[in-house]
Amino acid sequence: MRVGIGYDVHRLVEGRKLILGGVEIKHNKGLLGHSDADVLIHAIMDSILGALGLGDIGKHFPDTDLKYKGISSLLLLKEVYKLLEEKGYRINNIDCVIVAQRPKLADYIDKMKENIADVLNTSKENINIKATTTEKLGFEGREEGISAQAVCTLCNK
């Protein structure tokens, strides 16, 4: 069994869609980034890459490469899944938390889990996503950005 941890944060800005877990969330701001800036998927990718000992998403998908500009993070997750398969592992469990003061995310979590489980060829029950606020403390609480953390465990196939 292997364990990995991932973390990502992006700034909230006007004029961008808010994408979390591959789901478009209704909100007046979106996350700024080279790709779609999906902090949840980015944290999950980093946790998987970490568990595999393969570095981080910046190594695999640099923000200096124009082919990743505006790309769906679900497509990047598919590439990480290929690495997982090549190394002979499968997802045992992924546990995540999204930290955002607003918007409320409860209505979107089930679809996020479906998207992630589909790409990673695992059961939705192996994916857990929580959302929390910071009680208006810090950059998330001031609605300047959103962060996400993920932990995964991998098993041999």
pLDDT of residue 5: 98
Instruction: Return mean pLDDT, the chain.
Output: 97
Is 27 annotated in a binding site? The answer is no
Its pTM stands at: 0.97
Which residues are CB-contacts of 120 (< 8 A; sequence separation ≥ 6)? 77, 81, 84, 91, 94, 127
Domain ranges of the chain: 2-156
Beta strand 127-132 with 89-99: parallel, antiparallel or unpaired?
parallel
Q: For the segment 119-146, what is each residue's pLDDT rounded down to a tens digit? A: 999 999 999 999 999 999 999 999 999 9
How many residues are given for the chain? 157
- SS3 label, residue 6: strand
Distance of alpha carbon 20 from alpha carbon 112, whole angstroms: 7
Q: For the segment 12-24, what is each residue's pLDDT rounded down to a tens digit? A: 999 999 999 999 9
Confidence band for 81, pLDDT divided at 50, 70 and 90? very high
pLDDT of residue 24: 98
Is 103 annotated in a binding site? The answer is no
CATH class assigned to 2-156: alpha beta
Is 62 annotated in a binding site? The answer is yes
Structural contact between residues 135 and 101, judged by C-beta atoms closer than 8 angstroms: no
Is 153 annotated in a binding site? The answer is no
Q: For the segment 54-72, what is each residue's pLDDT rounded down to a tens digit? A: 999 999 999 999 999 999 9
pLDDT of residue 64: 92
